[in-house]
C-alpha cells in the first residue's frame, strides 16, 4: 500500500493496516501493533501496557494546556460524540482481545507478552468500564478514565477507529483460519502416525518438510535409507541419486516407484507421487501448483505389533481367542501358544476353531495371512 502524498495521520493509518496483516503471520508483533493503534486513536497511554516504557506516551498537548484532570464541562453535541466514541472503543477492545486470544492459540512464540497484554486489557477495561451502569454514563466513565492523563478525543480518532475496524475483523478471520489449518494438520499428522508405511512430504527443492513416525522408524532401522538434514540419502551415491531423481519426477508431475535392494532383507519400496490442489491434473497444472511431492516407504520385513484389542475389534474375538490368533500370526505352534498363555493345548485348539469360524478361515496359514493383510499398514 503506497502512502505517498497522504497526510501524516493517514500515512500512520496505511502503515498500521499493513502491520495488522503482518501480525497475523507473526503474532509476536501484536503487542506493538495494538499499542500503535491505541496511539493513533487517542487511547490512554497506559491503558493496556505493562512494561517500563509505553508504546505511545505523549499526551494531547491541547488537553494538558487546558488543565484537564478528569472533570469536564461538555455540550450536548460533545456528549453525543463522546458516546459514539465510547461505543467504538468498546468494540475496538473486544477486537483486540479476540486477536490476542486467537494469536496465543496459533503461535507460542513470545507468548508471555501477548498473555500479559490480554490480561492487562481485560483488567484495565473492567476497572474503567463501570459494570453497574448500562446507560450512556457507564460508557462515559470508560472514556473519562482514559482522559485521566490529559488526553482528549476528536472526530479524527473516531474516524480512524471506524476505518481500522474492518481490517481488524478480517485479521481475526484470517487468524482463525490459520488456527483451523493448524488443527487439521495436527489431526492428519496424528492419523498418519498410525500407518506402518513411511510418509515423507517434500518441497519444490526435494527437501523433506514433514515425515510421519513410520518413516522415522524405517530410516533409523535401515542401512540403505536415512535422513541427512532435510534430504533422503541412500546407502551409496547411486542409491541417493536414484532417490533424488524419483522425487524430482514426482514434483514435476510424474509418479514413480523405486525398489532399494538390501543385503539380508527384502527390498525397501519407495512410491513417489506429486501433491497438487484438488482438481488439478496433468499438464493443466501451473508450475506453482506442482511444487510438492509425497514419498511412501514400505518395508516388507517390519514386524507388526498386533494387539489383543485390535484383533478383538476387527473380528469380534474374545480375549483368549485374540491371543491365540496373535500366536498363530507370529508363527508359534499350538504348544508354544498354550505355554505362553498358561493353558492346556486342548484349550488353545478349541479356541483356534472358534477363531476359524469367526474369521472365515480354515487353517493356520490362512489365518496368519488374514491377520497380516488386515494390519499390514496400520498399527
pLDDT tens-digit profile, the chain (379 residues):
334 343 455 777 888 899 999 998 888 888 888 888 877 877 655 555 544 443 333 444 444 444 444 444 556 766 676 677 777 777 787 788 888 888 877 777 777 877 777 777 776 666 555 555 555 555 555 555 555 554 556 678 778 888 988 999 999 888 888 877 777 777 788 888 878 788 999 988 888 988 998 899 888 877 788 888 888 888 889 989 999 999 999 888 888 888 888 887 778 889 888 876 544 444 454 544 446 889 998 887 775 667 888 889 889 999 999 999 988 887 888 898 899 899 999 999 999 999 999 999 998 888 888 887 777 666 6
Q: Which residues of 88-100 are buried (b: 16+ CB within 10 A; e: fewer)?
A: bbeebbebbbbbb
The pLDDT score that the predictor gives to residue 134 is 52
State the Cα–Cα distance between residues 259 and 177, nearest whole angstrom. 40
Element (H or E) spanning 69, and its range?
A: none
DSSP assignment of 234-267: ESSHHHHHHHHHHHHHHHTT--EEEEE--SSSPP
Three-state DSSP at 53 gives coil
- Whole-structure pTM over 0.85, yes or no? no
Length of the chain counted residue by residue = 379
Architecture label for domain 308-374: Orthogonal Bundle (1.10)
Three-state DSSP at 165 gives helix
> Rounded to whole angstroms, what are the CA distances from 108 to 280, 304, 354?
35, 37, 54
DSSP assignment of 279-325: T--GGGS-GGGS-EEEEEEE-TTPPP---HHHHHHHH---HHHHHHH
Asked if 24 contacts 178 with a C-beta cutoff of 8 angstroms, the reply is yes
**Strand 198-202, strand 292-298: pairing:** antiparallel
The pLDDT score that the predictor gives to residue 217 is 87
State the Cα–Cα distance between residues 299 and 268, nearest whole angstrom. 5
The pLDDT score that the predictor gives to residue 352 is 94
Q: Which residues of 305-315 are buried (b: 16+ CB within 10 A; e: fewer)?
A: ebebebbbebb
Asked if 121 contacts 96 with a C-beta cutoff of 8 angstroms, the reply is yes
CATH match for 198-298 among 3.30.565.10, 3.30.450.20, 3.90.850.10, 3.40.30.10: 3.30.450.20
The domain limits of the chain are 8-187, 198-298, 308-374
State the Cα–Cα distance between residues 116 and 28, nearest whole angstrom. 12
Upper half-sphere CA count for residue 183 (Cβ side, 13 Å): 9
The pLDDT score that the predictor gives to residue 62 is 44
State the Cα–Cα distance between residues 94 and 101, nearest whole angstrom. 11
Amino acid at each position: 500500500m503506497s502512502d505517498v502524498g497522504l497526510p501524516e495521520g493517514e500515512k500512520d493509518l496505511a502503515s498500521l493496516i499493513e502491520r495488522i496483516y503482518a501480525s497475523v503471520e507473526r503474532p509476536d508483533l501484536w503487542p506493538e501493533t495494538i499499542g500503535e493503534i491505541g496511539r493513533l486513536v487517542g487511547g490512554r497511554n497506559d491503558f493496556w501496557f505493562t512494561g517500563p516504557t509505553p508504546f505511545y506516551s505523549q499526551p494531547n498537548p491541547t488537553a494538558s494546556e487546558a488543565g484537564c484532570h478528569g472533570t469536564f464541562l461538555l455540550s450536548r453535541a460533545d456528549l453525543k460524540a463522546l458516546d459514539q466514541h465510547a461505543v467504538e472503543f468498546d468494540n475496538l477492545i473486544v477486537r483486540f482481545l479476540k486477536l490476542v486470544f486467537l494469536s496465543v492459540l496459533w503461535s507460542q512464540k513470545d507468548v508471555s507478552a501477548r498473555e500479559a497484554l490480554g490480561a492487562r486489557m481485560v483488567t484495565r477495561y473492567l476497572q474503567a468500564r463501570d459494570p453497574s451502569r448500562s446507560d450512556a454514563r457507564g460508557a462515559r466513565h470508560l472514556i473519562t478514565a482514559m482522559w485521566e492523563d490529559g488526553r482528549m478525543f476528536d472526530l479524527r480518532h473516531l474516524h480512524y477507529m471506524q476505518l481500522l475496524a474492518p481490517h481488524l475483523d478480517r485479521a481475526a478471520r484470517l487468524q482463525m483460519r490459520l488456527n483451523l489449518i493448524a488443527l487439521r494438520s495436527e489431526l492428519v499428522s496424528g492419523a498418519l502416525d498410525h500407518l506402518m508405511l513411511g510418509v515423507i512430504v517434500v518441497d519444490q527443492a526435494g527437501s523433506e518438510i514433514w515425515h510421519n513416525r513410520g518413516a522415522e522408524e524405517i530410516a533409523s532401522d535401515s542401512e540403505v535409507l536415512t535422513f541427512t538434514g532435510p534430504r533422503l540419502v541412500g546407502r551409496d551415491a547411486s542409491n541417493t541419486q536414484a532417490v533424488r531423481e524419483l522425487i524430482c519426477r514426482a514434483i514435476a508431475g510424474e509418479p514413480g516407484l523405486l525398489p532399494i535392494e538390501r543385503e539380508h532383507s527384502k527390498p525397501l519400496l519407495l512410491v513417489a507421487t506429486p501433491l497438487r490442489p484438488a482438481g488439478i491434473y496433468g499438464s493443466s497444472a501451473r508450475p506453482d501448483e506442482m511444487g510438492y511431492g509425497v514419498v511412501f516407504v514400505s518395508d516388507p520385513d517390519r514386524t507388526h505389533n498386533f494387539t489383543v484389542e485390535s484383533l478383538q475389534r476387527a473380528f469380534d474375538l474374545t480375549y483368549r481367542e485374540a491371543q491365540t490368533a496373535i500366536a498363530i500370526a507370529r508363527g508359534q505352534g499350538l504348544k508354544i501358544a498354550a505355554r505362553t498363555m498358561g493353558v492346556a493345548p486342548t484349550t488353545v485348539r478349541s479356541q483356534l476353531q472358534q477363531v476359524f469360524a469367526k474369521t472365515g478361515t480354515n487353517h493356520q496359514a490362512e489365518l496368519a495371512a488374514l491377520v497380516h493383510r488386515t494390519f499390514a499398514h496400520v498399527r
